[in-house]
Amino acid sequence: MHEPMSPGFAARRVSLGPDQGDFLARALPELRRGGVVLLPTDTIYGLSCRWDSERARERIQAIKGPGRLALFVALVANAEMAFRFAYPPGPEGQRILDEQWPGPLTAVLRARPEVVPMFSQGPEETIAFRWPRDAFLQDLVRDLGVPLVSTSANRTGAPNVADAREAWEQFGAGIDLYVDGGHRPGLPSTLVDLTVEKPRLLRLGIFVPSGVDVGAGGPG
């Protein structure tokens, strides 16, 4: 049985219940001001901040520790939001998105450099987007108005945390808000490079989409 929650955790914790009003009322102000929030996703827990805050992204980089790639996955509210910031993929890539979005598929796409800050771009002007299946995440990103960074909640090389309490024990006051969605020990999303004519699998997650080549590497 767990020890009673410390006042620090209790003050920073919000439960993800049937009524999402309290969750949105707590999470949106934190994200709008550039805070870092622990969020349950349709795969695992993630550390999140608004996509266009360089300072917040640097905070997450420091929390993750040395050796973490600077390219982070970002959540979008829908495909239209993704294509405001990225060019659509070719026919094979679009087929994969049509089959798997919304869901646990992260797509590496070519950024629109005129609207994407340099600090949000990865190698060769790429970005990695996921349209999550969870309605509460879609609502959060839609109300925020910009994509939402989501990188695995762990220090570099350590296992992913499975619940909010475990995250608190690892990160403490370094995280501004802990959204408690219960136990989530799942696999990360599948990562696919859609910037090439023949889509390439970069990271194996919950599933393998059909019609992709096997590669290696990529953001987490």
* Range of the structural domain that residue 163 is part of: 8-182+192-207
Whose tokens are 């949000």? That residue is 120
Q: Name the domain count of the chain.
A: 1
110 contacts 194 by C-beta, under 8 angstroms = no
Q: What is the pLDDT of residues 41-72, one digit of tens each?
A: 988 999 999 999 999 999 999 998 876 555 68
Q: Which residues, in sequence order, are CB contacts of 19 under 8 Å at separation 6+?
A: none
Please report whether residue 19 resides in a domain: yes
Quick one: pLDDT at residue 193? Answer: 96
For residue 102, how far is the Cα from the chain centroid?
Answer: 14
187 contacts 43 by C-beta, under 8 angstroms = yes
What's the first-to-final CA gap in the chain, in angstroms? 32
Q: Is residue 106 packed enough to be buried (19+ CB in 10 Å), middle (13-18) or exposed (0-12)?
A: buried
Query: At 50, which CATH number?
Result: 3.90.870.10
Q: Which of 188, 167, 187 is nearest to 177 (CA)?
A: 167
Please report whether residue 59 resides in a domain: yes
- What is the C-alpha radius of gyration for the chain, rounded to an integer number of angstroms? 17
Please report whether residue 1 resides in a domain: no
Q: What's the 3-state SS for the chain? A: CCCCCCHHHHHHEEECCCCCHHHHHHHHHHHHCCCCEEEECCCEEEEEEECCCHHHHHHHHHHHCCCCCCCCEEECCCHHHHHHHECCCCHHHHHHHHHHCCCCEEEEEEECCCCCCHHHCCCCCEEEEECCCCHHHHHHHHHHCCCEEEEECCCCCCCCCCCHHHHHHHHHHHCCEEEECCCCECCCCEEEECCCCCCEEEECCCCCCCCCEECCCCCC
pLDDT one digit per residue (tens) for the chain, 220 residues: 454 544 599 999 999 877 777 889 999 999 999 999 999 998 899 999 999 999 999 999 999 887 655 568 999 999 999 999 999 999 999 999 999 999 999 999 999 999 999 999 988 899 999 999 999 999 999 999 999 999 999 988 888 999 999 999 999 999 999 999 999 877 888 999 999 999 999 987 666 667 677 654 444 4
- Please state, as a whole number, how many other Cβ atoms lie within 10 Å of the Cβ of residue 161: 24
102 Rama class: left (phi>0) / alpha (psi -120 to 50) / beta: beta
Quick one: pLDDT at residue 67? Answer: 66
Please report whether residue 48 resides in a domain: yes
Please report whether residue 172 resides in a domain: yes
Please report whether residue 215 resides in a domain: no
Quick one: pLDDT at residue 101? Answer: 96
